[in-house]
Amino acid sequence: MKILVYTAILLLCALAAPVFAEEAIDGTKPLICATIQAVSCAYGEECERGLPESIGAPQFLRIDFVKKEIIGPKRSAQILLMEKSDEQITMQGFELGMGWTLAIDRATGKAVITFANREEGIVIFGACTAQ
């Protein structure tokens, strides 16, 4: 009986794989991203971990590749540089006195955003999917 269940699960996974492959992030379709966890560090202080909203980050962001813009509920940021590889899409820009980098795994949608200036650094973990 266990073999039958495992075989059914493997078959379902094999059938689902092409669906997920078609959904890979290609850098053309708009994305919606959710922020999940944040880490904030400053010179001489302990790093703080928490929810992104605890540091003023929005819960959701939209990425418009055509307009080269990241859109939040209160402000938008221009994407100044974008690089695509087979594994990820990397974007960079400047917002509120900090340089930022956003890297998105093209297969899974997992994302990491970093912000840095001369005194502090922030890392936000999240996930993106096509709108």
Which pLDDT value is given to residue 18? 38
The model's pTM is: 0.80
- How far apart, in whole angstroms, are the C-alpha atoms of residue 114 and residue 112? 7
**CB neighbours (10 Å) of residue 110?**
15
Predicted pLDDT at 24: 85
| Bridge partner residues of 100 (DSSP) | 93, 115
Q: pLDDT tens digits, residue range 34-60?
A: 999 999 999 999 999 999 999 889 999
Q: Which residues of 84-102 are buried (b: 16+ CB within 10 A; e: fewer)?
A: eeeebbebebeeeebebeb
Tokens of 33: 């991203």
pLDDT computed for residue 21 by the predictor: 40
Report the CATH architecture of 25-130: Beta Barrel (2.40)
73: β partners: none
7-36 pLDDT, tens digit per residue, is 333 333 443 333 344 468 999 999 999 999
CA 114 remoteness from chain centre: 10
